[in-house]
Every structure is written in structure tokens, then in C-alpha cells.
């Protein structure tokens, strides 16, 4: 491999400018948001056994792919658009379909980044709770004449769920003003009762709702790149479908979707383990004096650093250089005092314990108490 760096400091400067490929650089990744317990090894065995056919042949196209997703989520194929990750579909919706998009912030930056600057409006979440006031959000969407509103639930980076009843109320308010509500459920499998929380089964009653989901996070397949949009609004589905290429998904993704229904129970169990590890990490982080830790619903935790601690960027830098661990600081997010916030992805119990120990070491609580 090309030698991009000679020291740990140079390694940090290089890695912090990348958007993936972290596994090549030998550090503990608490930044990206993986399910570490899925897929099971049998899935990899199947992919290896099929590798010649996968590599040598064209994959199937959009209509057949939608059928495979439909088999996984028990929805009709005509409601589904499959993307090369959710990012492809976000680019189409934000960049090409929406005339005026509104999104609460802080949130996943790509919704705003993919839209022309004059066609996106950022709505600040309540501070410091970071809760979404759906009545205020709806009023603002209506005031600016938005035709697309986005809600990520659980939100990234706050890891907070927006109640289902709030989202239904929001959809009803927006429907009267011809505004589509995009609900990003990419992290919903990590909430405590996902089947009762998703809006997938409400779509018939609310045709102005479209659910967007990155399968990369929940299914632990970031390198395969699969996302989908689900809506009962077939005209909206078709407008998004027109923006994807005929072979936008490769053969590895196709084969994964074909065998995924066979591993439903393993997936459910993997998400349970993620919740256990996350909840234990939450308790440990809460024990750090001065740390404000927001109760998580996803597989990551949003924190405000103690006032006496370093800034988020400096803490992130020192954690990497001194302990070879990487977290995500939130200085590039739209929120007050953004340099004080970090997002920490939960990994295994052992790795999470070591991370907390390293954080305490860097914050240097004993030294602060003495001074």
C-alpha cells in the first residue's frame, strides 16, 4: 500500500480527510456507524462461492432489484426505488426533484449538501434539547413553500428518535400544502421496538410520505452500497426512479439481497446486541463528570464535552494520536457551540470500555480537579 504518512500525526491528518477505506489504516473506528454483528459468516461464504458469476455477468436492473427489496421488507415492488446507497437517492431528491427543501439541523449533511444553495432551508432544532418541534417545523415549511421536507429519525448526529405520532401529524399538515415528507429511517433498526416505530405500514394512508433507508448501517454492508426509497406515491417514486442508472447496483449487492431473507433472525439478534453495547456505553459516558450525554436511540451517542475539556476537534485529534481511536467531532454541523460536541459510534463492549478509558485520560479529570 502507498505510504501516505510517516507519523501518527500525519496518519491523523490523512485519515481525517478521507470518507472511508478506514480498515486499511489500522485504528479503532468509533466514527462510522456500522452494525458489527451482521452479516454472519455464511453470507460471505455464499458471496465467495458465487464470485465468478457475480464478477463476469451484468447484474439485474431496477424493477427486479425492487422486487428483491420487497421480499425483505414485505412491500410491493412498484413502491420501491433502489439506490447505490441512500446517498444516490438523496442526490436525486435534493439536487434534481425538490424546488425548495427544508431539513432540521444538525442532521446528516448530505441532504443540504446535495441541494443547490438557494433551494435548501435549514431549520434549527430546539436547543439545547435538540428535539424537533413538528408544529414549528411544519409552519416554517409552509411559510417558505417547501415541496420537500426531510426528517432523519433517529437523527444523525443526535441519535434521537422523533415519535411516530409527531411524524404522522407532520405529514398531515404538509399534505395540505403539496409537500412530500422524506423520513430517513436508516438507523431505525436500533431502536427498542422498530416494528412498531417504522412508518412503512402507514404509507397507504399518507401518500405524501416517502421512507428513505440506507441498508449499509443496519446490515453492516457499507462496502456493498444499498439504499432504497419506499412510498405509496407512485408518481413520486417514478420521478426518483428516472434519475437512477439502469445498472446502478452491482452483482454483490444483488446476491446479498437474494439471500438476505434467509438471515432475518440473525439480523434481529444482531440489532439486539448492538442495543446492549450501546446502552452500556451510554451509562459509562454518563459517569464522566461534566459530560452531557444525550440518551441514544441509534447505534451512536451524541455528547457535549465538559466545559473544562478540550474542544471536539482537539479531543478527536488527541484520541487518535495518543490512543489510535477515531471519533467524529461536530464542528462541521450546524448547531450552537458546535466545537463542544462529539458523536461516538458504539462498537463491542471491550472496545467501548477502552474508548471511555482513553477519553478520561485525555480529558485528564484528576489534573483538572487538582487545579
pLDDT tens digits, 147-183: 999 999 999 999 999 999 999 999 999 999 999 999 9
Residue 1 lies in a domain: no
pLDDT band at 4 (very low <50, low <70, confident <90, very high): confident
Domain boundary among 237, 262, 287: 262
- The range of the structural domain enclosing residue 32 comes to 8-39+265-370
Q: Using the predicted structure, report yes or no on whether residue 369 has a pLDDT greater than 50.
A: no
Average pLDDT, the chain: 95
pLDDT at 322 over 60: yes
Instruction: Tell me, yes or no, whether 252 and 269 share the same domain.
Output: no
- Is residue 152 domain-shared with residue 227, that is, in the same domain? yes
212 plus 314 within the same structural domain: no
Work out the pLDDT band at 366, boundaries 50, 70, 90. very low
CATH code of the domain covering residue 246: 3.40.640.10
Mean pLDDT for the stretch of residues 246-265: 96
Q: Do 161 and 297 contact (CB within 8 A), yes or no?
A: yes
Segment 350-368 mean pLDDT? 85
- Judge contact between 73 and 230, C-beta under 8 A: yes
Nearest to 78 by CA among 65, 90, 88, 66: 66
The domain boundary, picked from 262, 283, 300, lies at 262
- Rounded mean pLDDT, 294-301: 98
In a domain, 82, yes or no: yes
In terms of domains, do 322 and 361 share one?
Answer: yes
- Residues whose CB is less than 8 angstroms from the CB of residue 292 and which lie 6 or more positions away in sequence, other chains included: 128, 303, 304
Instruction: Say yes or no: 124 and 256 in one domain.
Output: yes
Residue 3 lies in a domain: no
Say if residue 231 is in the same domain as residue 277. Answer: no
For residues 329 and 195, state if they share a domain: no
Are the CB atoms for 329 and 339 separated by under 8 Å? Answer: yes
pLDDT digits (tens, 9 = 90+) for 179-198: 999 999 999 999 999 999 99
CA pair distance 67, 121, nearest whole angstrom: 35
Average pLDDT over residues 227-233: 98
Q: Are residues 206 and 64 in the same domain?
A: yes
* 364: confidence class by pLDDT, cuts 50, 70, 90: confident
Number of C-beta neighbours around residue 202 at 10 A: 16
**Total domains, the chain:** 2
pLDDT tens profile 196-219: 999 999 999 999 999 999 999 999
Establish whether the linkage from the previous residue to 39 is cis, with ω within 30° of 0: yes
Question: Averaged over 52-81, what is the pLDDT?
Answer: 97
> 282 is written with which cell numbers?
451510554
Q: Are residues 71 and 178 in the same domain?
A: yes
Residue 2 has pLDDT above 70, yes or no: no
Q: What's the pLDDT tens digit per position in 15-40?
A: 999 989 999 999 999 999 989 999 99
99 & 133 share domain: yes
Q: What is the DSSP string of 131-163?
A: ---HHHHHHHHHHTT-SEEEEESS-TTT--PPP
Among candidate residues 262, 297, 324, the one where a domain is terminated: 262
Contact indicator for 197, 161 with CB cutoff of 8 Å: yes
Q: In which band, very low, low, confident or very high, does the pLDDT at 370 lie, cut at 50, 70 and 90?
A: very low
CATH of the domain at 284: 3.90.1150.10
Check whether residue 86 and residue 193 sit in a common domain.
yes
pLDDT greater than 70 at residue 314? yes
Q: Let me know: does 256 contact 71? Beta carbons within 8 Å.
A: no
Amino acid at each position: 500500500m502507498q505510504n501516505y504518512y510517516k507519523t501518527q500525526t500525519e496518519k491523523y491528518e490523512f485519515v481525517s480527510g478521507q470518507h472511508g477505506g478506514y480498515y486499511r489504516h489500522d485504528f479503532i473506528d468509533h466514527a462510522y456507524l456500522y452494525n458489527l454483528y451482521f452479516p454472519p459468516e455464511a453470507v460471505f461464504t455464499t458471496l465467495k462461492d458465487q464470485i465468478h458469476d457475480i464478477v463476469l455477468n451484468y447484474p439485474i436492473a431496477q424493477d427486479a432489484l425492487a422486487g428483491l427489496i420487497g421480499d425483505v421488507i414485505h412491500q410491493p415492488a412498484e413502491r420501491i426505488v433502489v439506490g447505490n446507497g441512500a446517498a444516490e437517492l438523496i442526490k436525486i431528491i435534493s439536487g434534481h426533484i425538490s424546488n425548495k427543501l427544508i431539513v432540521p439541523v444538525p442532521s446528516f449533511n448530505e441532504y443540504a449538501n446535495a441541494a443547490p444553495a438557494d433551494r435548501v432551508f435549514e431549520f434549527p432544532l430546539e436547543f439545547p434539547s435538540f428535539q424537533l418541534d413538528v408544529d414549528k417545523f411544519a409552519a416554517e415549511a409552509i411559510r417558505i413553500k417547501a415541496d420537500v421536507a426531510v426528517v432523519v429519525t433517529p437523527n444523525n448526529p443526535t441519535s434521537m428518535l422523533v415519535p411516530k405520532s409527531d411524524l404522522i401529524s407532520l405529514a398531515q399538515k404538509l399534505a395540505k400544502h403539496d409537500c412530500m415528507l422524506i423520513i430517513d429511517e436508516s438507523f431505525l433498526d436500533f431502536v427498542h421496538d422498530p416494528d412498531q416505530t417504522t412508518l412503512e405500514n402507514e404509507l397507504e394512508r399518507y401518500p405524501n410520505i416517502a421512507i428513505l433507508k440506507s441498508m449499509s448501517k443496519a446490515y453492516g454492508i457499507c462496502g456493498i452500497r444499498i439504499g432504497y426509497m419506499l412510498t405509496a406515491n407512485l408518481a413520486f417514486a417514478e420521478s426518483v426512479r428516472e434519475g437512477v442508472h439502469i445498472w446502478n447496483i452491482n452483482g454483490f449487492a444483488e446476491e446479498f439481497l437474494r439471500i438476505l431473507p434467509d438471515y432475518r433472525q440473525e439480523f434481529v439478534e444482531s440489532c439486539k446486541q448492538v442495543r446492549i453495547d450501546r446502552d452500556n456505553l451510554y451509562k459509562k459516558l454518563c459517569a464522566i463528570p461534566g459530560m452531557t450525554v444525550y440518551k441514544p436511540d441509534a447505534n451512536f451517542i451524541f455528547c457535549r464535552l465538559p466545559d473544562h475539556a478540550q474542544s471536539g476537534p482537539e479531543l478527536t485529534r488527541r484520541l487518535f494520536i495518543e490512543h489510535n481511536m477515531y471519533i467524529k467531532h461536530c464542528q462541521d454541523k450546524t448547531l450552537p457551540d458546535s466545537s463542544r460536541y462529539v458523536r461516538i459510534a458504539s462498537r463491542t463492549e471491550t472496545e467501548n470500555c477502552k474508548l471511555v478509558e482513553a477519553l478520561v485520560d485525555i480529558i485528564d479529570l484528576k489534573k483538572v480537579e487538582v487545579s
